[in-house]
Amino acid sequence: MKDLLLIAAYAALGAGASALLGWPVVRLLRRRSLALSLFSVAVVTVLAMTAGTLAVAQAMFLSDHDLGVVITVLCMAAVVSLVTAALLGRQVVAGSRALARAARTVGSDSGFAAPAQPLGSELAELSAELAATSARLAESRRREQALEHSRRELIAWISHDLRTPLAGLRAMAEALEDGVAEDPARYLVGIRTEVDRLTGMVDDLFELSRIQAGALTLSLARVSVYDLVGDAIAGAYPLARQRGVRLEGGQVAAEPVEVDGREITRVLGNLLVNAIRATPADGVVAVAARREADEVVLSVTDSCGGIPEQDLPRVFDTGWRGVTARTPRAVDGSRTEHGDSGAGLGLAIVRGIVEAHAGRASVHNVHGGCCFEIALPTAAAQS
């Protein structure tokens, strides 16, 4: 036992001396090439093994022949170890360089081009993360481009829509100022109407800006969708009566939801107003609500004649407007239109408010019209 401990001590002294001499070299090379660092580690390891073995061999007073055999074996092992370390370092460096070249494609239009050569598990994991990062960057760039396109369209449409009421206000004001208005009271009513229209456009812009900035504050409370639908129908009833459209809300289940009642009522009001304006006289706009799993789905179905399939994905985009050519003619021969009467903000506001409630908004065509749906989590699912 004492002999083994003595041999271990000699081996530790020889290996430790080599390790102490090699450690500063490894530290100096830590910022250099990875292949050189790996090779340096292999050199230190080989030297430590050789020094320890030689120290033990000297202590054992081996014969010259036996010592030569030990030295020969050590040299062969050292050569094989260093060659293997060099090859491994080259392989790691080649994979690292290939991954560095591939990293230059992150965020490019063509997407991330992963290295074709096999990589180690760590480099392969890094390559997968770069691919995922590139995909997120591409998606972010697409969203940014879409938002920029919507912003430009919105500015153009807002500018166009502002001209009409402003021109009307100016004309009516000049007529009143010059005293040529035959019926001043009618002109005053017209001015009030145009001012209300401008006020509505400004309110919609302000609401949309709050939604897009994430500054929409919700006051959640447990309410029944029956009450929400009832309030929305009551608000839209005068417009429906004026246009000769029948409102139906008999298929509304009294399901509880935890929402901001004022905001959801505004959502339903926007959908109802759009549906009524798109539906010809003697048409029907139906509101329904049903429970699906942990959601309550509210739907507004109209008789607009349907929306072209290519337009369905853009219905809730900021600035989108209905195309008059797709809807049926009203009884007076004029075209009805499905979309926002102002600057194309109503449906964008609908989606923003619904998504702020962790819900979703969708639209699909039905026989003779289209159906807008909003899905909201039930009160039980949120609690």
* pLDDT for the residue numbered 308: 87
* pLDDT of 300: 92
Q: What is the pLDDT of residue 195?
A: 87
The pair of three-digit structure tokens given for residue 3, joined into one six-digit string: 């002999």
Single pTM value for the model: 0.56
CA angle 142, 147, 153 (to 5 degrees): 130
Cβ of 305: how many Cβ atoms within 10 Å? 20
β-pairing, 369-377 with 295-301? antiparallel
Tens of pLDDT along 246-267? Answer: 988 877 777 888 888 888 888 9
Do 11 and 56 contact (CB within 8 A), yes or no? yes
Query: Residue 321: what pLDDT?
Result: 63
- Residues composing the chain: 383
Per-residue pLDDT, 139? 84
Both tokens of residue 176? 């009143």
Identify the pLDDT of residue 322.
Answer: 58
Q: What is the pLDDT of residue 372?
A: 93
Distances (CA, A) of 153 to 144, 326, 346: 14, 21, 15
Mean pLDDT of the chain: 77
Predicted local distance difference test score (pLDDT) of residue 335: 35
Using the 8-state DSSP alphabet, how is residue 326 labeled? G
Supply the DSSP string of 54-95, one letter for each residue.
HHHHHHTT--HHHHHHHHHHHHHHHHHHHHHHHHHHHHHHHH
User: 357: closest CA among 262, 231, 249?
Assistant: 262
Q: Residue 371: what pLDDT? A: 92
Question: Reduced to 3 DSSP states, what percent helix, strand and coil does the chain have, rounded to the nearest 5?
Answer: 65, 15, 25
- Give the chain's residues under pLDDT 70: 1-23, 25-39, 58-62, 319-344, 380-383
Show Cβ contacts of residue 21 under 8 Å, excluding neighbours closer than 6 positions: 47
- How confident is the model at residue 327, as a pLDDT? 40
352, with CB counted inside 10 A (0-12, 13-18, 19+), is buried
